[in-house]
């Protein structure tokens, strides 16, 4: 158990809908990262927040957005969902914001878009 | 576009065998290399973060080396056990970006 929690574990929804994935980092960690794992691709970095502010952005679609709240939990919002958004979404956290920091991964949320 | 390549794609060894896999990454603007172990139905687990050329890290039977000048890292497993069966991922990061670029992994299966 990494100490990172994600909810829900599974999510099934329809195309065009909007969903919110939630992540609570390890106690004391200030950075939160979001990753997407699709069937035919490796882990893709989406976005990083550090202490409430966006720190780095990866291959995140405009239909997706994220934020980190004062209590450091983070939410990833996915809207106008398409079939291709079906994937495993991981959240990870680290103590600081530096690229060399070890990242601890949560159990993931499996999103299925029908 | 940064390319991180891992080889082999999959590996099947017998219990007790020692094995190694390779992670290749761009050698310019290197900042850090991460190794993760990912078991089926679980989340990736951090093994090592390597930052210095020539660095060698060890955790039990697993060790890793790093060559930043030529752009590769090796992961070694000594005396493989069935519980070592997992996908081993490396992830590269440059000094100009904070994002990890992951390889597609080496899937290791250890049988009795």
- The top-scoring range by mean pLDDT among A38-52, A71-85, B43-57 is A71-85
Question: Nearest-CA residue of chain A relative to B43?
Answer: A107
A79-93 pLDDT per residue, tens = 999 999 999 999 999
A42-72 pLDDT per residue, tens = 889 999 999 999 988 888 999 999 999 999 9
Rg (CA), chain A: 13
Tell whether omega for the bond before B28 is within 30 degrees of 0, i.e. cis: no
Between B61 and B100, the more confident residue is B61
Residue A35 neighbours by CB under 8 Å, 6+ apart? A43, A44, A45, A46, A89, A90, A91, A92, A105
The answer to whether A103 and A93 have CB atoms below 8 angstroms apart is yes
Residue A99 pLDDT > 70: no
Q: Work out the minimum CA distance from A82 to partner chain B, whole angstroms.
A: 24
User: Are the Cβ atoms of A100 and B93 closer than 8 angstroms?
Assistant: yes
Task: State the Cα–Cα distance between residues A56 and B31, nearest whole angstrom.
Answer: 15
Between A1 and B32, the more confident residue is B32
Q: Work out the minimum CA distance from A58 to partner chain B, whole angstroms.
A: 7
In chain B, which residues have their Cβ closer than 8 Å to the Cβ of A104? 46
What mean pLDDT do residues A11-18 have?
97
């Amino acid at each position: 158990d990494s100490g990172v929690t994600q909810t829900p574990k599974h999510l099934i929804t329809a195309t065009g809908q909007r969903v919110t994935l939630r992540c609570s980092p390890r106690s004391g960690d200030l950075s939160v990262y979001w990753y997407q794992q699709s069937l035919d691709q490796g882990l893709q970095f989406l976005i990083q927040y550090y202490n409430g502010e966006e720190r780095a952005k990866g291959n995140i679609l405009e239909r997706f957005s994220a934020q980190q709240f004062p209590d450091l939990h983070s939410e990833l919002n996915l809207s106008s969902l398409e079939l291709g958004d079906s994937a495993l979404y991981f959240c990870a956290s680290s103590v600081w914001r530096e690229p060399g920091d070890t990242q601890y991964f949560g159990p993931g949320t499996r999103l299925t878009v029908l | 576009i940064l390319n991180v390549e891992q080889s082999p794609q999959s590996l099947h060894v017998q219990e007790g065998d020692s094995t190694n896999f390779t992670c290749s990454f761009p050698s310019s603007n290197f900042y850090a290399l991460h190794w993760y172990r990912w078991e089926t139905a679980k989340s990736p687990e951090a093994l090592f973060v390597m930052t210095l050329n020539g660095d060698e890290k060890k955790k039990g039977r697993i060790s890793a080396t790093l060559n930043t000048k030529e752009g590769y890292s090796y992961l070694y497993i000594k005396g493989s056990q069935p519980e070592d069966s997992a996908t081993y991922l490396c992830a590269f990061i440059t000094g100009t970006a904070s994002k990890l670029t992951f390889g597609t992994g080496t899937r290791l299966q250890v049988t009795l």
